[in-house]
A and B are shown apart, each in its own frame.
Chain A
Amino acid sequence: MHVNILNYAGRRYLWWSLLIMAASVVVYLSQSPDLPRSGGSWQGYTLGGLGVLLILWLAWLGIRKRSYRSNAGSLQQWVSAHVYLGLTLPVVVTLHCAFQFGINVHTLAYTLLAGVFLSGLYGLYSYLRFPTLLMENRAEQPMEARLEELDRIDKAGLETAEQCDENVNAAVKSALARTAIGGGFWDQLRARDRSRVLLSEHGSRQVGNPDQQTIIDYLVPKIPDTSKRGEAERLRELLYVFGRRAEILQRIRRELSLQLRLKLWLCFHIPLTVGLLVALIAHVFSVFFYW
């Protein structure tokens, strides 16, 4: 019923891809052994032509994706073919250049292609892997419900803290107020927790509160050490609040991180593709101009 892009249609395009690669090898090997193998032989041109056609077709996915009215096959079919045919490119292009590299526009095009290829591979991995991780991280609680719960327990925490010792109240308030979600690019990507808390024993210096652990550590020893009536119960409630918060916040950060990673690779794949197309034009033009 639900089939991923690799297994689409019984891996039809894997076979296409293997066929293309095999044919490329045959063409490459058919070059006369008298001359050094290069892109300049008819075999080289054939492989080069094939490479250009493949690149243009692969890049066409960007347009096909937006042709919402198109009846030309499902997008999944296109993506499946895009993946498998994309896998042939390093083979086709490397054989085309016959392993000749240098510091020139031709190798620039090759390098860009390698970048596109590698980012694409990572993209493939992320599309196959991250949705499942996201789903597991969601644990049957949608984001909105999670944020609502966070809001709810925060309010409960504040209410409980109001009745507690002044220092505890202040600590709880500051832990709630200085909780950080998101942050900079790296923080988001690595799901780093930059939450902080202001504790009375540290004076006016804030300390890190990753995974709410600092405040938890602050509260725990107070529980057996209280004489005020009902204070132990309240502190235990607060302990639950911060334990639950830690869990919720972790999942939110992980969700953000995974969402970011799911899209981030495209920030390389697409610009590199555009660069590749430009370099390709320069490559083809220079080859024919200086012929």
Chain B
Amino acid sequence: MGGKGVSAHYKTIVIGAGPAGLSAAGRAAEYDNDARANNSNHEPTHILLEGSQLHANTIQRYQKGKHVMDEPGYLDLRSPMEFAAGTREAILGAWEQGLRDTGVNFECGVEVTEISGQHGSFSVRCGNGQTYTGDNVILSIGTQGNPRRLGVDGDTSAFAQYQLDDPDAYNDEDIVVVGAGDAAIENALGLARQNRVVIVNRRNEFSRAKQGNLDAVLAAANNRNMTFSCRYESSVKALRLPASEGEPGSITLNTPQGEEELPCHRVIARLGSIPPRAFLENCGIKLPNDAPTALPELDSHYQSNVPGLYVIGALAGYPLIKQAMNQGYDVVEFIHGNEVMPVEHPLLQLKFGLLPYRAEVDEILDLYQKRIPMFARMNSLAFRELILESDIRVVVGEKDHLKALGKRRSELRQQRFVNIQATRDKEEQCRREAGSEPKSYRAIEEPGITDVTLCDDAIYKEGEYSNSFFTIVEGEVTLRSGSGPETTLTAGQFFGEMSLLSGRPRIGNAYASSDTILIETPRRTMVKIMTSNKQVAQGIEAVFLQRTLQQFFAASASYHELSDIARRVTTSQFNKGDSIYAEGDTGDRLYLIRSGTVALTGRRGSKNIALGQPQSGQIFGQLALMGDPVRRESAVAAVRTELIEIEHAEFLALLKIAPESVPALQTETSRQLQHASRMESVPEGSAVISFLLDKGLGEATDALVIDEKLCIGCDQCETACAETHGGISRLDRKAGARFANVNLPIACRHCEQPHCMKECPPNAIHREPSGEVFIDDSCIGCGNCETNCPYGVIKMAYDAPKKPGPVQWMLLGRGKGPGDNSHAPPTKAAKKAGKKAVKCDACVNRKSGPACVQACPTGAAYRLSPEEFAGLVEKS
């Protein structure tokens, strides 16, 4: 394509050869191929520009053999490039093949520096002086390529790296790693195997890192055999570049002790990536706010405010590969004048399939978004995504109606399966004709069709551990809790935010009237939206506060009356071990625990005595507002805790609105005082409680506790666990922490807000309504949950070999016998499938409860929740 200067004019210029760009360019190339079939002199009307030397730069940099996911599973792929979950190599290979097969006009090593012009006459200038002109520009450059830099002179030289492909490529070097996130830690630890490493942290702890990485850093810093050290509260002041290749340069740090110059061979900075804001603004693209992470606003065709300039992939807010590839395809179709329905269109049709009215998907989306004030101002693409990940639920009044809709539902499901199979058959036919190998398809996913329930059935019930979030589109929902009044919510309002925010089980029951339509959004989706959309987060937060205040202090008050007070109370967060107030302080507020657990202790004589351990949903410190301003105890967060602080004025205002809540408040206060005095009288029991809280039981909902006075060490608990869980015990009795007669084995405690559920790529960790947290078969063995669990209760293990029958075992001596849970080597198949995460599921499907407890011959094993701590003390 031409020399330096101005080249041919293209219809489509795709910038960035990541998944989105590859897919877009591939589709554009297919159009060219069609045209070439009629006119052999047809010149390409598209070009794909890439700054680096290879396609899919980010994935190229993954470690060898890394498993790449193809989430979300419900979405089909629409692209000339192939993509299915697999190893890095398989995926890169498939794309390379795709580039060749479609004949994409690919220019690599050209970095785009400027895009100017408008629809029909864009000009794209590159770092090498080349300029390309075109009608349309598709920007698919992602965000990974734009690392946050050190911000000092020399930070663009080769001395400062922002990426580490293979830590073993360096040997016997002095290396400084800057950053406190997981990437920085993993790089630093990897390098420390063969090099001398210093890691520089701007703050005084590695709070952003996963627990496992945190532990590993601390262990490495304390390991005498490793040359590894940390610099805290330090920032980079300057770099001195090496005089010549192989010579060391140096980095100067601002540390609390003054400046420090560290000679080193290279500096690796892992400070995250940011959207290339300046570049986008230079292109004329408007960004909605000043946040460094702000993403461009786009219409439903991914077109920015500059007509003809499209943004797709991570830069458009879609970090998932499959979505990005579909967008690339759709944009090129749109450019070529084909108004194709997005690939998720049939999915949305199914979601809306049983609504009592017939309308186009886009109309319904539009209507719903308008109807819900909180979502009304959301980006329409984001709202579409929200609906895709949510369930639509129709509540009907009559059983016959339910039956009829149920029948229609199964028809829709059947139809969906038939359609997908037909498409696959057709594709397979084409492949056969083209002489290519048959493709393996994954099982067809269960489609998300409108849910239908009866109005007599509760949407959720008191005490259930569900945490999805409900929005009412039509109809009415009544919330009933034991003590409080009934609350009726109507269209546009939402509920379920308490469990969403606190992780606690549901409070009260929710019933919908007939002909109600609800959107049920999973917690994961809501959390994502709340982090990216401040308005939604604030809206939910405000209502959460109102409802919490109503529930605790002013049952009869209306939301309206409470909204003013709710605005004035503050929320605060405490990490484990942070002090909330100290004994002897003068208090001016009471605290309502939003999530977490607080340890209340008092000095009695020379001893510190545990006086109480209020959990989420409870209040403490109220005596300061009820006549005794001096704190009689110290309050410390036992786990990461969020509190709602209510000061004097707000407290009085609440009581004024609802004077009838005073007796209840007094009852609760005397209950707490009684509990405290009981604890004071049993100091040894109080020590047990302190021990349990110290071991993190404050956030447990169901923990295994063994009474050492009864335990005979027979390990029946472990054997029973292994025998009922595929041969692998999920608890470790011997390694448990012990204090007095309490042994806390290494076993899952089913935390209030499970740490393990946080970053599970296939979303394989779930919570039963009854509270049990378990991992399903879709685990890919990534180990995130193992890293995230602060209690070390998750392990990665191969499937254990199947045990022989008793006769085979006895007569032929095959395999392990019944009750023998010693280590058995995994089978070849198990090894091939790889290690999977295993953890206690509290025997969720076992009729008579957890096997460990059931199989204990002496009654030493017991499962308890924090509410039962007090009972443990009285017994011990």
Q: What is A's interface to B at a CB cutoff of 8 Å?
A: 1-5, 8, 65-66, 68-69, 71, 73-76, 78-79, 127, 130-132, 134-135, 138, 140, 142, 259, 262
Do A66 and B818 form a contact, CB below 8 Å, given A2-B707, A71-B848, A135-B708? yes
Let me know if B859 is at the binding interface, CB within 8 A.
yes
Asked if B709 contacts A132 (CB within 8 A), the reply is yes
Asked if A76 contacts B856 (CB within 8 A), the reply is yes
Asked if A134 contacts B872 (CB within 8 A), the reply is no
Cβ–Cβ < 8 Å partners of B853 in chain A: 74
Distance, CA A71 to CA B720, complexed state (A): 12
Q: What is B's interface to A at a CB cutoff of 8 Å?
A: 707-713, 716, 719-720, 723-724, 738-741, 818-819, 846-848, 851, 853-860, 862, 864, 868, 871-872, 875
Cβ–Cβ < 8 Å partners of B711 in chain A: 131
Asked if A68 contacts B872 (CB within 8 A), the reply is no
Determine which of A2, A8, A71, A132 lies in contact with B875 in the assembled complex, contact meaning CB atoms within 8 Å: A2
Determine which of B818, B847, B868 lies in contact with A1 in the assembled complex, contact meaning CB atoms within 8 Å: B868
Asked if B713 contacts A262 (CB within 8 A), the reply is yes
Cβ–Cβ < 8 Å partners of B859 in chain A: 2-5, 8, 74, 76
Asked if A262 contacts B712 (CB within 8 A), the reply is yes
Closest CB-CB distance, A177 to chain B, in whole Å? Answer: 27
Distance, CA A5 to CA B848, complexed state (A): 19
Cβ–Cβ < 8 Å partners of B741 in chain A: 132, 135
Asked if B855 contacts A131 (CB within 8 A), the reply is no
Cβ–Cβ < 8 Å partners of B740 in chain A: 140
Distance, CA A142 to CA B711, complexed state (A): 15
Cβ–Cβ < 8 Å partners of A68 in chain B: 719-720, 723-724, 819, 851, 855
Which of A69, A73, A138 counts the most chain B CB atoms within 10 A? A69
Give 4 A-B pairs besides A3-B859, A76-B859, A262-B712 with Cβ atoms closer than 8 angstroms. A1-B875, A68-B724, A73-B848, A140-B738
Do A138 and B738 form a contact, CB below 8 Å, given A68-B720, A69-B724, A75-B716? yes
B849 to A, closest residue via Cβ: A74
Asked if A2 contacts B709 (CB within 8 A), the reply is yes
Distance, CA A5 to CA B719, complexed state (A): 20
Distance, CA A3 to CA B875, complexed state (A): 9
Asked if A66 contacts B864 (CB within 8 A), the reply is no
Asked if A79 contacts B857 (CB within 8 A), the reply is yes
Distance, CA A155 to CA B716, complexed state (A): 38
B711 to A, closest residue via Cβ: A131
Distance, CA A5 to CA B864, complexed state (A): 19
Distance, CA A75 to CA B720, complexed state (A): 11
10 contacts between A and B (CB under 8 A): A1-B872, A2-B709, A8-B859, A68-B723, A68-B819, A68-B851, A68-B855, A74-B848, A131-B858, A131-B860
Do A74 and B708 form a contact, CB below 8 Å, given A1-B871, A2-B875, A259-B713? no
A78 to B, closest residue via Cβ: B857
Closest CB-CB distance, A43 to chain B, in whole Å? Answer: 35
Closest CB-CB distance, B694 to chain A, in whole Å? Answer: 14
Which of B708, B739, B740, B858 counts the most chain A CB atoms within 10 A? B858
Distance, CA A75 to CA B818, complexed state (A): 17
Closest CB-CB distance, A10 to chain B, in whole Å? Answer: 13
Distance, CA A84 to CA B30, complexed state (A): 83
Cβ–Cβ < 8 Å partners of B868 in chain A: 1
Cβ–Cβ < 8 Å partners of A79 in chain B: 857-858
Asked if B719 contacts A4 (CB within 8 A), the reply is no
Cβ–Cβ < 8 Å partners of B860 in chain A: 2, 131
A77 to B, closest residue via Cβ: B859
Closest CB-CB distance, A112 to chain B, in whole Å? Answer: 23
Distance, CA A259 to CA B734, complexed state (A): 14
Cβ–Cβ < 8 Å partners of A142 in chain B: 738
Cβ–Cβ < 8 Å partners of B739 in chain A: 140
Asked if B707 contacts A65 (CB within 8 A), the reply is no
Distance, CA A5 to CA B819, complexed state (A): 23
Closest CB-CB distance, A82 to chain B, in whole Å? Answer: 9
Distance, CA A132 to CA B711, complexed state (A): 9
Cβ–Cβ < 8 Å partners of B858 in chain A: 4-5, 76, 79, 127, 131
Distance, CA A134 to CA B711, complexed state (A): 10
Distance, CA A65 to CA B858, complexed state (A): 12
Do A75 and B857 form a contact, CB below 8 Å, given A65-B716, A66-B819, A68-B851? yes
Asked if A65 contacts B738 (CB within 8 A), the reply is no
A76 to B, closest residue via Cβ: B859
Closest CB-CB distance, B861 to chain A, in whole Å? Answer: 9
Closest CB-CB distance, B814 to chain A, in whole Å? Answer: 18
Distance, CA A130 to CA B714, complexed state (A): 13
Distance, CA A130 to CA B723, complexed state (A): 28
Distance, CA A73 to CA B707, complexed state (A): 20
Q: Which 4 A-B pairs have the closest CB atoms?
A: A68-B723, A2-B707, A76-B859, A71-B848
Asked if B864 contacts A1 (CB within 8 A), the reply is yes
Asked if B708 contacts A71 (CB within 8 A), the reply is no
Distance, CA A134 to CA B712, complexed state (A): 9
Distance, CA A2 to CA B710, complexed state (A): 8
Distance, CA A184 to CA B851, complexed state (A): 37
Asked if A74 contacts B862 (CB within 8 A), the reply is no
Asked if B712 contacts A1 (CB within 8 A), the reply is no
Cβ–Cβ < 8 Å partners of B856 in chain A: 74-76
Closest CB-CB distance, B722 to chain A, in whole Å? Answer: 8
Distance, CA A3 to CA B819, complexed state (A): 25
Cβ–Cβ < 8 Å partners of B710 in chain A: 2, 4, 131
A141 to B, closest residue via Cβ: B738
Cβ–Cβ < 8 Å partners of A1 in chain B: 862, 864, 868, 871-872, 875
A266 to B, closest residue via Cβ: B714
Closest CB-CB distance, A6 to chain B, in whole Å? Answer: 10
B871 to A, closest residue via Cβ: A1
Asked if B855 contacts A75 (CB within 8 A), the reply is yes
Cβ–Cβ < 8 Å partners of A135 in chain B: 708-709, 741
Do A127 and B712 form a contact, CB below 8 Å, given A2-B859, A75-B857? yes
Asked if B862 contacts A2 (CB within 8 A), the reply is yes
Closest CB-CB distance, B794 to chain A, in whole Å? Answer: 22
Determine which of A65, A71, A127 lies in contact with B847 in the assembled complex, contact meaning CB atoms within 8 Å: A71
Cβ–Cβ < 8 Å partners of A4 in chain B: 710, 858-859
Cβ–Cβ < 8 Å partners of B716 in chain A: 65, 75
Which of A8, A68, A69, A130 counts the most chain B CB atoms within 10 A? A68
Closest CB-CB distance, A201 to chain B, in whole Å? Answer: 41
Distance, CA A3 to CA B723, complexed state (A): 25
Distance, CA A262 to CA B857, complexed state (A): 14
Closest CB-CB distance, B325 to chain A, in whole Å? Answer: 47
Cβ–Cβ < 8 Å partners of A259 in chain B: 713
Asked if A131 contacts B724 (CB within 8 A), the reply is no
Cβ–Cβ < 8 Å partners of A138 in chain B: 708, 738
Closest CB-CB distance, A11 to chain B, in whole Å? Answer: 13
Closest CB-CB distance, A286 to chain B, in whole Å? Answer: 30
Distance, CA A3 to CA B860, complexed state (A): 8
Closest CB-CB distance, B865 to chain A, in whole Å? Answer: 12
Distance, CA A66 to CA B722, complexed state (A): 12
Which of A69, A76, A132 counts the most chain B CB atoms within 10 A? A76
Cβ–Cβ < 8 Å partners of B720 in chain A: 68
Closest CB-CB distance, B858 to chain A, in whole Å? Answer: 6
Closest CB-CB distance, B714 to chain A, in whole Å? Answer: 8
Closest CB-CB distance, B732 to chain A, in whole Å? Answer: 13
Cβ–Cβ < 8 Å partners of A131 in chain B: 708-713, 858, 860
